[in-house]
Structure 1
Amino acid sequence: MTDEIQIRQCVDADLAALEATEPPGAGIARNLLKHQAAGAVIYAAAWRKHQPAGSVVLDLVSDHTPELKHLFVQESARDAGIGTALCAWTETYAEQTGFDKLYLSVGTENGGARRLYERLGFVPTGRLRTTTYQYVDDDGQMQWATETDDVFEKSLTD
């Protein structure tokens, strides 16, 4: 990863730049900033030249608290260590907040993400979670998806 990447918690002033990276009308950044203001999540992004290169959410009220969610790196920024850096930032934040474990869920068929998380010290718990959700695709159309995820955890006190 280059020195030009800065990871920090997102603020309302970041909204326009964050929305420019999502499908039209998705409202992802706006929704996450709203949940952050309510204390439910921490929303952070990796910034390169004042543009978001990736983002991550730390869910503080999930079934597995705290839970690293929605790790995403822009396609043009992949293979630069940004996903690893976002995970490390999230781990540090969770540990400094007083948590001793960090959880995440990863699709059973998402081999690349599974390898990343295992390399970073996350281990499968043996629990599966199936979720059905609605999302906005790249054309701005609402779609439904169902995915089955493995729940992973990592001790933050080792």
Structure 2
Amino acid sequence: MTLLLILVRHAKSSWGDPAAEDIDRPLNKRGQKAAPEIAKWLNSKGYIPAEVVSSPARRTLETWDRMAPHFPDTALIRREPDLYLAPPSTMLNSLQNCAADPVMMLGHNPGIAGFAAALLASPPDHPRFRDYPTCSTLVAAFEASDWAEVQPGSGKVLDFTIPADL
């Protein structure tokens, strides 16, 4: 059986309010535009999440809010407090506790870039993969019947894009 992971870094956020806590930063105009464009791209390729696991940060939740209208209203969303600024090991643990397929995970750098690189047997041929800019999206396949079986280095790249590519 093949499992699909859609790994999305949150869209571009605003630094307009210096008093705002990091977790409370909203998307800026560029991020508000990029998130639905990525969702349209995913939908056009048939990558439709059944389960969405997100950091509780405002910018990740707003990214999903802007993406959700472009998918069927069937995805279960779970706010995962441990994903806020999580390292790759925490992200893997969260993924291994998922139940549906495909899973979309929304997170932050530097953890998400490290997680994406660690999951794959070979990285995509894209100059921006290593730095994983805002709203970068990886679609990876895993030969497993359960997310608990997924291990580092076992993923195969199906697609990778950034907003500037669209």
TM-score, structure 1 normalization = 0.29
Greater relative contact order structure (CA < 8 Å, 6+ sep):
2
Q: Which protein is bigger by CA-based radius of gyration?
A: 1
TM-score, structure 2 normalization = 0.28
Q: Larger % of strand: which? A: 1
Q: Larger % of helix: which? A: 2
